Structure 1
Amino acid sequence: MSSNKAIVSSFVEGAPPGELADVVADIKALTISTPSLLSELGPAFQKYNEEQLATVKLPGGSQPVIVSSHSSLGGGRYFDVESSSSFAFDHATQKASSVQSYVLEGAQADLVKSTLKSLSTYVKEHFQNATYGVYPIENDSKIAIIIVANKYSPNNFWNGRWRSLYIFNPTSGALEGSIKVDVHYYEDGNVRLLTTKPVNSSVSSGSGASIAKEISGSEKKYQEELNRSFTSLSEGAFKGLRRQLPVTRQKIEWDKVASYRLGQDIGGGASRR
């Protein structure tokens, strides 16, 4: 049973963006003889949601908030600085409940709030739809900055997620973290792109505006790297997977395709009667 639990947990932890419910439905179908197994996967669901930076709308709220280990209060509760609230989160259903007031206090409160304000401007300018958060961590000695953007298109058989997580040390000015992109395309096949870009830089002034500016520069650079990589794949490896010309070694003039006569124009020879 323990080996089965480990295997099924790996299914949960490896679920592509926006497809956790589909994976759970498949698990139910595969473990119909042991229905209690799903109820034992709480740790796997929690690990998935916290690592994937799950976003959820609070009851009565208009903007999603982030679920992460950096915003955890323990006991299944999390907090959000922007909305000044804490909430309970069901990792299996990905639903929030029991919203309460939460007022941020501590040595980094002002830096957290100023970073949130500057980050808001950056995110709105560069992301079509994203959720962000800033949290004091490690006994209020550092702050965590998170940006997560989801774009789901199941009708077109693809889903994607951008995750960036940074840890800023006000004492040293060090900004360390990573940018992750996860895209799943599954129409007539199963292709998944998983990338991780480490970030190691420094912020001279240590202000919220300077932190957001450094993040903006790092993410712009990585976006440009991704664009070059996609162009290289399109012109290189992907092109090698298909024949560039028909067997006639001649390109088809698609605007004239209606006038082609099979065996003559496409075949390159005279028609036979």
Structure 2
Amino acid sequence: MSELSDEAKLQIVGGFLKESPPGEINDVFNDVRVLLEDEALLENGVTSCFQEYNLEQFATVVPPGQQHQVILSKYGQLDGERFVDPRSGTSFVVDHIRHTASDAQPADSHGSSEPYRQALDTASIAYIEDHYPDGTATVYGGEQLVLAIVDNKYNPNNFWNGRWRSVWITQPGATEVTGSLKVNVHYYEDGNVQLTANKDITFSVTDSGDPQAFAKAVIKQIAKAESDFQVALSEKFAEMSESIFKALRRALPITRSKINWDSIATYKVGSEISSK
């Protein structure tokens, strides 16, 4: 890459970073560090890439002085580095490369929408505990109510990682809720296969003016929508396994003769004996 300009190098590196599979951005970062061979250029040039990646992928941090995680997203971004934690009513600064939070300060409340936000936040905590092994939910208030959900499953020892993301948007007093669900899984044992699936959903609820009842109704519909999406994915995988994937497999080895698997070990032992 020595013949490229610094701008071109950073553009290439940024492309790699922003396309990193779940849980693997640090591995990609270390790989491009070796390729670039310019530590100062890398440190100064990739911060924006990490920020974009963190917001798109719903990265999480623990705010200063808190025990819960907060999702980093455009819905909670106050400026380039400062984000809001609606649950604690504070804001904080994020180091996007190191995934750390600092400089906690009081944040403005969300006015008349705060009772709805708190009710939806409380209902989402119970929902996450029941449905997601390592999930995190953050509810933002204001003119809109936004519920963001993320759960990650990293299994590098078995060469796969995955991420679930969903976001649900409504307004206090409104009856329509719009949602977007995204799943990304990466398998990389002796290959490189990625699954990406997404779906947009809209449903209606009734708001009687009771924030707790409204939150309960919204979460009930979200649970059904996300469960239906997961079931549909499982059914599609089963269908593909019996059709597309099966068609990709060779019915016979290149010799056109079936392998006698029971005799494979014998063949190997015999060849070792004959070679001595």
2:250 to 233, 243, 247: 243
Structure 1 residues 260 and 44, CA gap change in structure 2 (3 angstroms): closer
Whether the 8 Å contact between 1:28 and 1:38 is mirrored in structure 2 is no
In the alignment, the residues of structure 2 paired with residue 38 and residue 260 of structure 1 have an alpha-carbon distance, to the nearest angstrom, of: 53
Query: Are 2:53 and 1:48 equivalent residues in the alignment?
Result: yes
The residue correspondences of 1:184-263 to structure 2 (distance < 5 A) are: 184-205=186-207, 207-244=214-251, 248=257, 257=262
Higher percent of residues as helix: 2
Identify the residue that residue 270 of structure 1 maps to in structure 2. none
Higher mean C-alpha deviation, range 164-173 or range 58-67:
58-67
Query: CA shift at 1:101, angstroms?
Result: 4.5
State the alpha-carbon separation in 2 of the partners of residues 12 and 159 from structure 1: 16
Aligned residue among 45, 60, 63 for 1:58: 63
Q: Indicate the residue corresponding to 1:118 in structure 2.
A: 123
SS at 1:74 equivalent: coil
Per-residue displacement from partner, 1:185-220 (whole Å, max 9, x unpaired)?
A: 111000011111111222222711111112111111
* Structure 1 residues 251 and 7, CA gap change in structure 2 (3 angstroms): same
Shift in alpha-carbon separation, 1:131–1:260, aligned structure 2, 3 A: closer
1:245 and 1:251 in contact (8 A); partners too: no
Shift of 1:42: 2.2
- The correspondence for 1:173, drawn from 148, 167, 175, is 175
2:18 maps to a residue whose letter is E
User: In the aligned structure 2, how far is the partner of 1:58 from the partner of 1:251?
Assistant: 60
Deviation at 1:226, TM superposition (A): 0.6
The answer to whether the 8 A contact 2:63-2:85 is kept is no
For 2:270, the equivalent position in structure 1 comes to none
More divergent stretch after superposition (101-110 vs 144-153) = 101-110
**Residue in 2 aligned with 1:90?**
95
Give 1:90-169 correspondences, 5 Å limit. Answer: 90-102=95-107, 104-136=109-141, 140-169=142-171
The answer as to 2:103 corresponding to 1:78 is no
Q: Secondary structure of the residue that 2:133 maps to in structure 1?
A: coil
Using the size of structure 2 for normalisation, the TM-score is 0.83
| Alignment correspondent of 1:182 | 184
- Give the 3-state SS of the residue equivalent to 1:73 in structure 2: coil
- When normalised by structure 1's length, the TM-score is 0.84
Task: Please tell me whether residue 31 in structure 1 is matched to residue 58 in structure 2.
Answer: no
Change (3 A) 1:258 1:93: same
In structure 1, give the amino acid aligned to 2:228. K
Deviation per CA, 1:250-272, whole angstroms, max 9, x where unpaired? 886xxxx489966xxxxxxxxxx
Where do 5+ consecutive residues of structure 1 fail to align?
A: 263-273
1:131 Cα offset (Å)? 0.2
* Large movers: runs of 4+ above 6 Å: 258-261
Deviations 1:125-162 (A, max 9, x none): 111110001102xxx22111111001111111111100
Separation in structure 2 between the aligned mates of residue 71 and residue 9 of structure 1, nearest angstrom:
23
Contact 1:81 1:103 in 2 (8 A): no
* Closer, same or farther: CA 261–5 of 1 in aligned 2, 3 Å: closer
Aligned alpha-carbon RMSD (Å): 2.5
Offset of residue 104 of structure 1? 3.1
In 2, the alpha carbon distance for the partners of 1:9 and 1:18 equals: 17
Return 11-20 or 98-107, whichever deviates more: 98-107
State the distance in 2 between where 1:33 and 1:61 align: 37
Which piece of structure 1 moves more, 215-224 or 91-100?
A: 91-100
What is the match of residue 267 of structure 1? none
Structure 1 CA distance for aligned equivalents of residues 162 and 204 of structure 2: 29
